Amino acid sequence: MQPHRLRDLLSAVRDGDVDVDDALARLRDLPFEDTGDARLDHHRALRTGLPEVVFGQGKTPEQIADIMGRLAAHSPVVLTTRATPDAYAAVREQLPAAVYDPRARIIALGAPPLPAPDAPYIVVATGGTSDIPVAEEAAVTAEWLGHRVERLYDVGVAGVHRLLAQRHVLFDAALVIVVAGMEGALASVVGGLVACPVVAVPTSVGYGAHFGGLAPLLSMLNSCAPGVAVVNIDNGFGAAAFAHLVLTHRVTPAPRA
């Protein structure tokens, strides 16, 4: 359940528009719903500011369709990452309004919040074209979380002039997500250019000594540029979730004695 939906429900109880028993029926699945295969965390948005997102990899199409349907009863937006076309076909049978982004491998349902045209934006930058699937997972997730996103693809350090030609886009960003494989040097370059936070995503793109993403992961963890945070290999969703929390979290000062 989203915070605004719970607030509306409590206001309706207060005003006498909803009786207590009806409110209890609506809240019966808090904090989670046990389906047998999964325990769906309908309470997560209230605790963390982010609703539960379905990780599709390893789940059957039928499980994904069932989980998305149950989540949709409690949340205006439902996402599944690492989804296949077969999973989307199963979801569409139950939820015809669902959409699928094949590059991001995301099934989405609902209406994402629309940011203002001049809202602060996240830049998603890649070292190469091969990094785009992971970048799109980050970009599409961020958009469904309500953020404006600008994409800078194939601007890696093998031709750093391509990145510098877009420096005006970088300099005005609220946050930059850098997605890179090979040696992962792009994160340090961007971190040395911008004043905003940088979230680095190593990808499993590279030759043998790249070790399936371990080389760029270690490079990014050892970045000499301050202000660079690193998520796990190929974790575009995690980068977008972290970016969302950075850009939306507000700390309330403790009251003075």
Number of structural domains in the chain: 2
Kindly state whether residue 195 falls inside one of the protein's structural domains. yes
Supply angle C-alpha 221, 227, 232, rounded to 5: 35
Count CB-CB contacts under 10 A for residue 219: 20
Helices 132-144 + 236-248 axis angle, to 10: 40
**What CA–CA distance (Å, rounded) separates 230 from 180?**
11
Do 42 and 151 belong to one domain?
A: no
Return the CATH number at 187: 3.40.50.1970
Task: Yes or no: say if 109 and 78 are a contact pair by the CB < 8 Å rule.
Answer: yes
Kindly state whether residue 253 falls inside one of the protein's structural domains. no
Count CB-CB contacts under 10 A for residue 150: 16
Low-confidence ranges of the chain (pLDDT < 50): 252, 257
Q: What's the length of the chain?
A: 257
Tokens of 152: 């800078």
Q: What is the pLDDT of residue 170?
A: 94
Kindly state whether residue 228 falls inside one of the protein's structural domains. yes
Do 55 and 128 belong to one domain?
A: no
Do 232 and 131 belong to one domain?
A: yes
Q: What is the pLDDT of residue 220?
A: 95
Question: Domain containing 20: what range?
Answer: 3-110
**What CA–CA distance (Å, rounded) separates 210 from 21?**
59
